[in-house]
A and B are shown apart, each in its own frame.
Chain A
Amino acid sequence: MEEASKISRYLYTLIILFLIWLALTASLDQQELIFGFVLSAIVAAITYPIFTTRGLANLHPKRVAYAIAYAPYFLWAMIMANLDVAYRVLHPKRPIRPGIVHCKTILKTNPGKLSLANSITLTPGTITLDVDGDDYFIHWIWVPDEVLHAESEEVHVEKASENITRPFEKFLKVIFG
């Protein structure tokens, strides 16, 4: 993936840092704003090469809209995950059938893969064990029948990806490309 220009990457880092400063101080006093801006400018000058590769293109309205829509979707998945965990922990018979399954992803960029791995870890019954290129190895607390008794490796990957990665990919594909 081609890199954005240095100025665009620098401005993007500056904006993100300044937003964090605003939330942490929670004051609109002029002195605070100026000092925060100066500090963000200094920190951004040092850190922008490792912070982003795409710069201001991250703030494309479509991406921001999808990111905002992703937040409630993800929170809902997380609450369902916790109710699922509550059920498994409190049930007297402890209904678990763990295993490590294999998934593939269509995401290409590293930030996208990172957020997919994070999303997988926080949603029902799955935790990311390793990522190797396009391959995700996921520890699943209840491996369903159609994945467990798949005839071949391809069917297994297909079914597992359908269950685990597909729901998030449609959002993350747009956000991170």
Chain B
Amino acid sequence: MNVLSALGEALVLIGTFFYFLSALGLIRMPDVYNRMQTSTKSATLGSLGVMVGVGLWAVGDGLSWSWFTKSVVIALFLLLTNPISAHALIRAAYKSGIPLWQGSVVDKYREHLEAKEKAETEASKEGGEE
């Protein structure tokens, strides 16, 4: 037991706690958008903690430093790709017409889409008259 493995174990513990929060958020939140909020954030930080923690833990237990560098590279890839997948999922959910929770207060995106559609139809109408 040395400092590195103790630090690694602590990071893995914190990471699993955030995993738990992410799963709990999936149960407690009312609609798909809020579920994406909780699950993306907590799962990303949880994975980051677990991966870096595992790397440090392995080094502390006498394995080579390559464990640490590999786990850091994997954590970086995850950090860069996870928000993109969340964005793709939430956008697809909106495009396929899943409604917001009834407690939602504003929806500027709907207004934007409607304004855009209106502008397009007007443009095509003017084009037809010419």
Contacts and interface: CB of A to CB of B under 8 A. Distances in A.
B13 interface: no
B108 A137 contact: yes
A156 B64 contact: no
A110 interface: no
A141 B45 contact: no
Contacts of B41: 78, 81-82, 85, 121-122
A23 B73 contact: yes
Contacts of B99: none
Interface residues of B, number: 45
A9 to B, nearest CB: 20
A130 interface: yes
Query: DSSP class of B's interface residues: helix, strand, loop or mixed?
Result: helix
Contact of A130 (B28, B66, B91): B91
B79 to A, nearest CB: 8
A149 B70 CA distance: 49
Interface in B60-77: 64-66, 69-70, 72-73
Contacts, number: 128
Contact of A121 (B33, B40, B66, B94): B40
B18 interface: yes
A16 to B, nearest CB: 12
Contact of B21 (A79, A89, A125, A141): A89
Contact of B109 (A79, A82, A114, A129): A129
Q: What size tier do the contact residues of chain A reach?
A: 35 or more
A78 to B, nearest CB: 6
Given A98-B105, A121-B40, A143-B106, A127 B87 contact: yes
Given A24-B70, A129-B94, A89 B106 contact: no
Nearest 9 interchain pairs by C-beta? A26-B66, A121-B83, A99-B106, A102-B108, A99-B105, A137-B109, A118-B83, A26-B69, A23-B69
Interface of B: 18, 21, 24-25, 28-31, 33-34, 36-38, 40-42, 44-45, 64-66, 69-70, 72-73, 79-80, 83-84, 86-87, 90-91, 94, 100-101, 103-110, 112
